[in-house]
Amino acid sequence: MMSLWDALRMNMMISYQELVRTFLSSLIAALEEEVGYRLFDRDTRKVQLNGNGIHFIDIARRLIQSHDDAVVEIASYATGYKGKIVLAVLPSMAVEWLPQVLAEHHRAHPDIKVELLDTQWDRCLKAILDGRADLALTAGQPSPGTFSSRMLFADEFFLICHRSHPLAQRESVDVAEVAQQAFVGFSQGTSIRQYTDQLMAPHSFNYVLEVRQLTTMMGLIAANYGVSIVTGLTLFQFQHKNIAIVPFRDLSLQRGIYLVTDKERQLSQCASEFYEFLQEKAESFIPRSAR
């Protein structure tokens, strides 16, 4: 009886192996037909991967790993532990306060990548509308019908001039005095230019040159090419042995700094937390004139 059972079990094992072999052969044949070339070298005794098969397996493993990584990233993004935030910002704001805030955020949240899109005021807002940026730091409040905005703090204006200039020795100046000087202004379309145009409205400023970059302005003022008006957030750029920084007297105009989002688009969790982080840091920030 035992011999009969052993023989039956052996036949079952052989039949199962033949079934598996036939099934695998069918799978291999179907796969090779789909990819268009042979993946295995096989004969009656063995089946093994050929060069094409090894290349195919390498690609398949990379695809599986990419899929697994994507699943992990999606899960991490949903929980807010990993992700990417794009912040559109005026170049004049990326000089002193913002870099310190970003460095602190990176230390606290190393898995959150913050990308900066430093561009002009109107392009910051367009990046929000196009979905290329999650948030924007801008000067001036945009249209409340399209954007949600919150004022963070007010940025004041200062005269910069060469240390040998007569106004450099003054404790403070007024706009009328600056209007009499050779004036180096920022180009049309820049945020600062919008405000200096308002300051100049009652006066006739003597424009001798217009520039777009803060570094260019710094070089010109240090060379005594003329005088200019800049904001408190940019003063770090003008810490130069040949440049004097003078506050204005009784100047009511300030540049409001706003944190802006799309009114119709909800922020991701990590972007929402970054929004709150920026607000918190702005509350403790002391503008230059009050230091």
CATH number at 219 reads 3.40.190.10
Whether residue 275 sits in one domain with residue 136: yes
**pLDDT, tens only, 9-29:** 455 454 445 555 666 677 777
Q: How far apart are CA 189 and CA 90, in angstroms?
A: 11
Q: How far apart are CA 233 and CA 85, in angstroms?
A: 23
Whether residue 161 sits in one domain with residue 138: no
10 in any annotated domain? yes
186 in any annotated domain? yes
What pLDDT is recorded for position 126? 92
**CA atoms within 13 Å, Cβ hemisphere of 48:** 4
Assigned token pair, 108 = 């606290």
pTM equals 0.67
Question: What is the band of 1 on the pLDDT scale with cuts at 50, 70, 90?
Answer: very low
Whether residue 148 sits in one domain with residue 282: yes
Whether residue 139 sits in one domain with residue 19: no
Q: How many domains does the chain have?
A: 3
What pLDDT is recorded for position 86? 94
Question: What is the band of 77 on the pLDDT scale with cuts at 50, 70, 90?
Answer: low
**pLDDT, tens only, 102-155:** 999 999 999 899 999 988 888 899 999 999 999 999 988 888 889 999 999 988
Whether residue 175 sits in one domain with residue 196: yes
Q: Average pLDDT, whole number, for the chain?
A: 83
Whether residue 190 sits in one domain with residue 121: no
Whether residue 143 sits in one domain with residue 164: no
**pLDDT, tens only, 30-72:** 877 777 888 777 776 776 777 777 777 778 788 887 776 676 6
What pLDDT is recorded for position 8? 45
263 in any annotated domain? yes
Domain end call among 39, 56, 73: 56
Whether residue 273 sits in one domain with residue 241: no
**pLDDT, tens only, 215-230:** 999 999 999 999 999 9
Helix (H) and strand (E) counts in the chain:
8, 12
Assigned token pair, 130 = 């196009």
Question: What is the band of 78 on the pLDDT scale with cuts at 50, 70, 90?
Answer: low
Q: What is the mean pLDDT of residues 78-87?
A: 72
214 in any annotated domain? yes
Whether residue 143 sits in one domain with residue 205: no
CATH code at position 41: 1.10.10
User: Are the C-beta atoms of residues 128 and 136 closer than 8 Å to each other?
Assistant: yes
* Domain assignment of residue 174, given as a range: 156-245
265 in any annotated domain? yes
Which of 78-92, 195-209, 261-275 comes out lowest in average pLDDT?
78-92
98 in any annotated domain? yes
Whether residue 275 sits in one domain with residue 141: yes
User: Are the C-beta atoms of residues 209 and 252 closer than 8 Å to each other?
Assistant: no
Q: What is the mean pLDDT of residues 80-107?
A: 85
Share of the chain above pLDDT 90, in %: 40
Whether residue 148 sits in one domain with residue 258: yes
74 in any annotated domain? no
Q: Judge whether residue 83 has pLDDT over 80.
A: no
22 in any annotated domain? yes
What pLDDT is recorded for position 18? 55
What pLDDT is recorded for position 280? 93
Assigned token pair, 215 = 């570094």
Whether residue 220 sits in one domain with residue 182: yes
Share of the chain above pLDDT 70, in %: 83
Identify which of 203, 290, 210, 218 has the alpha carbon closest to the alpha carbon of residue 254.
Answer: 290
Question: What is the band of 74 on the pLDDT scale with cuts at 50, 70, 90?
Answer: low
The answer for residues whose C-beta is within 8 angstroms of residue 109's C-beta and 6 or more apart is: 270
How wide is the angle at C-alpha 95 spanned by C-alphas 89 and 99, nearest 5°? 75
